[in-house]
Amino acid sequence: MLKFYNTLSKKVENFTSINPPHVGMYTCGPTTYDFVHIGNLRTFIFEDILQRVLEISGYEIKRVMNITDIDDKIIKGAKEKGIGISEFSAPFERAFMMDLAKLNIKYANIFPKATEYVDHMIKYIEELIRKKLSYVEKDGSVYFDISKFPEYGKLSGLDKRELKSGTRILSDEYSKDDAQDFALWKSVQADEVGYNSPWGRGRPGWHIECSVMSQQYLGDTFDIHAGAVDLIFPHHENEIAQSEGKTGKKFVNFFMEGEHLLVGGQKMAKSAGNFYKLKDLEERNFDPLAFRYLCLTAHYRERLNFTWASLQAAQNALNNLREEIRGWNEEIGLSEQPKGSTDQFWQRFLDVANNDLNIPQAVAVVWEMVRSNTPTTSKYQTLLKMDKVLGLGLDKYLGKPIEVPANVSRLVTERESIRKSGDFKKSDKLRHKIKKLGYDIEDTPEGPRVKRI
Ligand code: AMP
Ligand code: ZN
């Protein structure tokens, strides 16, 4: 049974979709004022794993991820460069797509951009004004009146926060401590980036885009909305207020928010300047998938402190895994006497993955299977299935022995015959020689397996 922690109920709940086998899933995407950092990417990896776990259960996912291509920082950045906002955003958006590909993160079916939905947003806001959930200020800005939505706070809990209805927040930056009326539409001067609206020239606030673009593609009520924990308040809370206020129906069944990536114990953030981009990792010769592996070793609801040493450990583990599986071969396996099967590993893998995405345990099961002496034919197929969830691209290595240079392979053959003759001292000497050339040997029932060190 598939179970996920639901921020709405603060409990782990059984998951079923509204219209099986379909699942509608919306994930808040990047704001394209800069390159994404690996903290953002941790969240996108978590969402990718979520999608893959649903798929392995037979669900078909329709996934929408927005691109916030208009906000205060984008406008400021474009102005500084003297270019338009879409020209300013384009390279960051392209780089983002490449980062996703490098990390084996599946693309969403739709990546709607905020600037392309301004008309829809205006209509949506008009409806909220008609329903008296929003009001227009003298300057032409429009606010959502949180006092008119009694359930405001049901996602984040408002006990520690002061409800300040009637006080307003206009900026895209927000206070975590106050619950205030928030801007749906912000009036702008004639020379600023903006759009014409019934309330004068202005531009949309940040929250409205996600209500509009999610419901546009997934309907009034859909299955899963995901992001990172900093979005619970106010972003997701505000989305609920707008959406449920407008339709009178439940907005989303499952809210799932992943924990942050930290550096030195602090949240990795562009504003704090303590961030790394995927490119920084690559420049230090790390494989992007080593970062994915690192993310898999922590549960998504736990913070993960990033260090170069932990990334190195993840890279080593991934390298070892790749080397292990190179020697697996279906044909050799088929001629073996079956010693057991991998069914129990697969079942345990599924059990933990389905239990609120306990991927660290799933990775542990992978290693247990790899080290077990079950026939490689069975391991081969099971690992392929497991990697559909993990997304480590292991099929590129599975059953694909490395090309060993001729001098090394001659030494390996020589050592094998010496070893078989029982002269272990001499065979060890040869192993040492082979090691110096950068290769190691594992003696298996199928013969010597050569690995790169
Ligand atoms: P942004 O581009 O800032 O809107 O963020 C895109 C996504 O990354 C959102 O879901 C954020 O909540 C998430 N995010 C931002 N910082 C971090 C972090 N340090 N760790 C994990 N996720 C983050
Ligand atoms: Zn959003």
Query: What pLDDT tens digit does each residue of the chain (453 aa) get?
Result: 999 999 999 999 999 999 999 999 999 999 999 999 999 999 999 999 999 999 999 999 999 999 999 999 999 999 999 999 999 999 999 999 999 999 999 999 999 999 999 999 999 999 999 999 999 999 999 999 999 999 999 999 876 455 666 666 665 554 555 678 999 999 999 989 999 999 999 999 989 999 999 999 999 999 999 999 999 999 999 999 999 999 999 999 999 999 999 999 999 998 888 999 999 999 999 999 999 999 999 999 999 999 999 999 999 999 999 999 988 876 654 455 555 688 999 999 999 999 999 999 999 999 999 999 888 888 999 999 999 999 999 999 998 888 888 899 899 999 999 998 999 999 999 999 999 999 988 887 777 888 888
pTM > 0.85: yes
Report the separation in Å between the CA atom of 416 and the middle of ligand 1, taken as the mean of its atom positions.
53
In a domain, 350, yes or no: yes
Indicate the residue among 350, 367, 396 that finishes a domain: 396
User: For the chain, what is the domain count?
Assistant: 3
What SS3 class is residue 191? Answer: coil
Residue 267 covered by a domain = no
The whole-number pLDDT of residue 161 equals: 57
Question: What is the C-alpha end-to-end distance of the chain, expressed in Å?
Answer: 41
| Beta carbon of 227 within 6 Å of any ligand 1 atom | yes
3 state SS of 167: strand
Does residue 286 belong to any structural domain of this protein? yes
236 lines ligand 1 (CB under 6 A): no
Last residue of a domain, one of 258, 293, 323: 258
Q: What is the CATH number of the domain that holds 241?
A: 3.40.50.620
For ligand 1, pick from 103, 206, 230, 295 the residue to mutate: most ligand atoms within 8 Å of CB. Answer: 230
Residue 300's pLDDT is 98
Cα→Cα distances 250→27, 224, 267, 331, Å = 17, 12, 32, 54
Neighbours of 330 (CB within 10 A): 13
439 and 323 inside one domain? no
Same-domain status, 114 and 151: yes
Instruction: Decide which of 396, 422, 438 is a domain's last residue.
Output: 396
Residues 230 and 345 in one domain: no
Residue nearest to atom 8 of ligand 1 (CA): 40
Residue 173's region, left for phi above 0, alpha for psi from -120 to 50, else beta, is beta
Shared-domain flag, residues 53 and 180: yes
The answer to whether the CB of 26 falls within 8 A of the CB of 222 is: yes
Verify that 210 and 232 share a domain, yes or no.
yes
Q: Which residue's C-alpha comes closest to atom 18 of ligand 1?
A: 39
- Does a structural domain hold residue 98? yes
Residue 68 lies in a domain: yes
CB of residue 450 inside a 6 A radius of ligand 1:
no
The burial of 351, by beta-carbon neighbours within 10 Å (0-12 exposed, 13-18 middle, 19 or more buried), is given as middle
The reply to whether 270 falls in a domain is: no
Do the domain assignments include residue 401?
no
The answer to whether position 266 is within a domain reads no
Q: What separation in angstroms does the CA of 26 have from each of 186, 234, 239, 410?
A: 25, 17, 12, 56
185 and 295 in one domain?
no
Question: Are 243 and 161 found together in one domain?
Answer: yes
**Containing structural domain, residue 390:** 278-396
Same domain, 416 and 377: no
Q: Does residue 370 have its Cβ closer than 6 Å to ligand 1?
A: no
